[in-house]
Amino acid sequence: MSDELTYCYKHPDRETGVSCQRCDRYICPQCSTPGAVGYLCPEDAGVPSTVVKANFQKTIWQLMPVTLVLMAANIIVFALQLMDPTLTEALLYAKFPGYSTLERAFTSGFAHSTADFLHIAFNMWSLYILGRMLEPVLGKLKFILLYFLSLFAGVIAVLLLSDIQTSVVGASGAIFGLMAALIVVLRVLKSDARQVIILVVVNFALSFSPGISWQAHLGGFLAGGLITLVYAKFRKPTEQATLYILIGVIAVALGGLWIYGNSILPF
């Protein structure tokens, strides 16, 4: 990145590194309003700069409620797993009769290994960091769709690419989807994404360690990147109908892969 200082076009005395996603003019926090991906200047957002200031005075709950609810759900389920060890088996997904069901594709994403506290600790820390950066930019609905479709894609990759009787728990597929989303967002904002890319490469390399599902990580990452590319490409208010149609197409395609994967299981 360049070391050259940049300043808000409306407030020349204010240094900033953020630019409008439409016109590329540099804008300070007071002049910025969140768009579908990135931030908008007052003219492109269609609002006075004085109105936007409130966006930077919100509480953590106001900025990332979906992220906090997802974290709470994961932590509560983990606590219940500790109290009742049989709950893990009831929630996990496995390529085994009775365990390869659609509901388990999602419940498995809220259960974690009780034998390794680092499993849930790393996932929740990652969810907090990524959610804090992505949810205010994408908005609640887009963030929810990104999270759950990435989670589903991770399980589908396990279904299609793993050995029979493989079982999985954890939010890692969704986390890798969020990592891919952050890379796309940073590229759209013309920011340096190299640190995130290095983090993804290191974590994916660790995915080949015993007991870790590289398939879930790969599936979640690919889906998260594709979904966010759609968000970035069709981010104008007049393009939102097209955006959701394309997300629906992705969801249907994932459903088709799920049906196909289950149709070739030997049971």
Output the pLDDT for position 44. Answer: 79
Annotated domain spans of the chain = 1-57, 60-263
Q: What is the pLDDT of residue 89?
A: 96
Cα separations in angstroms, 22 against 4, 27, 42, 62, 182: 21, 12, 11, 26, 19
For residues 243 and 214, give the distance between their C-alpha atoms in angstroms, rounded to a whole number. Answer: 29
pLDDT of residue 2: 36
Q: Which CATH superfamily is domain 60-263 in?
A: Rhomboid-like (1.20.1540.10)
Angle 237-241-245 from CA coordinates, rounded to 5°: 140
pLDDT confidence of residue 50: 43
CA distance 145 to 224: 10
pTM of the model: 0.80
Q: What is the pLDDT of residue 47?
A: 55
What is residue 73's predicted lDDT score, i.e. its pLDDT? 98
Rounded Cα distance between 206 and 196, Å, is 15
Whole-number pLDDT of residue 245: 98
pLDDT of 25? 81
Phi, psi angles (nearest 5°) of residue 153: -60, -35
Nearest to 181 by CA among 152, 212, 150, 141: 150
Per-residue pLDDT of the chain (267 residues; tens, 9 = 90+): 334 457 778 877 677 767 777 787 888 777 877 665 567 888 777 655 444 444 445 688 888 999 999 999 999 999 999 999 999 999 999 999 999 999 999 999 999 999 989 999 999 999 999 999 999 999 999 999 999 999 999 999 999 999 999 999 999 999 999 999 999 999 988 888 888 899 889 988 988 888 899 999 999 999 999 999 999 999 888 999 999 999 999 999 999 999 999 999 999
**How far is residue 170's CA from residue 113's CA, in Å, rounded to a whole number?**
7
